[in-house]
Each structure stands twice: as structure tokens, then as C-alpha cells.
Amino acid sequence: MRKNTVKATLQAGGTVANGWVGIPSSYSAELIGHAGFDSVTVDLQHGLIGFDQALPMLQALSSTPAIPLVRVPGNDGPEIMHLLDAGAYGVICPMISTPEQAASFVSACRYPPEGDRSFGPARGFLYGGKDYYTHANEEILTIGMIETQEALDNLDAILAVDGLDGVYIGPNDLSLNLGHAPSSEPTAEPVVKAIAHILARTLAHGKIPGIFCSNGVAARARLEQGFRMVTPGNEAGILSAAAAQAVAQIRSESTESSTQTSGY
């Protein structure tokens, strides 16, 4: 089976830059996959993407060096299995707030006897290889999102779930659940403390701490804080910021040019 290089890197103590795509376009997924990210997550929760759009995006990512991941809309076993069969090499699952939810999520990602994943890896064979079934349980990455007060209360029990590789922080939902306005880079003290607590407990359990960030500078700061898997925003935000910057540069140059030739 094709090696999950992202999982191997993380298990070896390395760090991962994770791209994020929410625009339903195989071309944009391919572009992001060639941008240098270690992995790219196709977002079916808040991205404008359904399974029919996700499939060609996963196919496009297969032509790039990036490992294809998905964020599922929720902790739904059949949907998780369907996306794994479509070739996803890892799943980020939102709103994991109890150890039972974490165990159910992991079970959907693992073939028996470690889980209850149904057999039928259609694209799994094509992308992963003919021995997909033999190694899928060890190669598929499982990441649960910690986004609620209930998850904080159950954090150690969630992290103790066998087969859960790590957790990802959704700062916006975590902020909301702690009574503060959504923010990709929270400054409210309870949220800042909660993020630091999640990071410390995840590392103590020997698992992978990840977090969604607003941009590359913020993602770099999170790596320096100790996070191991970071996302510097989604492709829509990156596109919007780059477009706004280009327009600002045009306006600035136009103003400078106008000033320089005003006496001509």
C-alpha cells in the first residue's frame, strides 16, 4: 500500500503543513496540492462540497505530492467509509466531544477486528495499491476536532481512545462554545488557556496536536508553540487575500505613477 507519508512524519515527531480546500473544483485542489503542502484536506463540512465534487478533487490530489485528507460533515459512519473508499488517506471529524464519539469515529475508519468499516475500497485500491486492505488500518489517519466545553471536560478520555491519532482545534467553534466571538486567532483568555491545555494534554498522551490558523504567519507561530499539524487558512481565504493585495499594489503603483507624471 502507498505509504501515508504525513502519518509517518507525524509519528516520527515531525511537523506537517496542511492545505485546505472548500471550493468545489478539481483544478483548485490540484493547484493547492502542487503548492508544497504535505497534505490537503477537502472540506465537506463548511466547504461548498458534496461527495460528487469531492471525488474528482481527491482524484486531482492523487496527481500531486500531497496526501489527500477529508473533513467530514459529521461523525457519520457510512459517510466516513464512503470517503475512505473514494481514496481519502485520513479523516478529520468535527465536534468530537466524548470518548464514545471518538471511538465511533475511529471504528468507522478501521476494518474488523479493530473497527466496523465495511469493505469496498473502490478508489482505495487504485490510489493505495492492491494490498490496501492489509495495511489500511495502520495507514489511515484519524483526527478528531476538539471544539466544545464538553470536549474539554472529556479531553483525557478522548485522547485515551485507541486508534485516535490526534486532535485538531477549530478555534472559531471553540471560541463560540466558550462564550466568545468566533476568531481564528483567539485573544480571549479562556480560549487561549483552553488551546494551551489541549496542546499540553495531547502531547502528554503522545498524540498529534493540530490547529486551523488564519494565515501562514499564524501557522508558523503555532508550530513554534508546539503544534505539529497546522493549516494556514483555506484556499478561498488565500485567493481573496492575494487578490486584494494585487489590487492594492495596482492602486498604489497607479497613484505613484500619477504623482510622478503630474507635470507632464
Q: Which of 34, 46, 135, 180 is catalytic?
A: 46
Locus of grid cell 492602486: 251
- Residue 13, Ramachandran bin (φ over 0: left; ψ between -120 and 50: alpha; else beta): left
34 is catalytic: no
Peptide linkage before 190 cis (omega within 30 of 0): no
Give the DSSP letter string of 31-82. HHHTTT-SEEEEESSSSS--HHHHHHHHHHHTTSSSEEEEE-SSS-HHHHHH
Which whole-number Å values give the CA distances from 25 to 43, 91, 132, 233, in the listed order?
A: 12, 20, 27, 17
Taking the C-alpha atoms of residue 218 and residue 220, their distance in angstroms, rounded to an integer, is: 5
Write out the catalytic residue numbers. Answer: 46
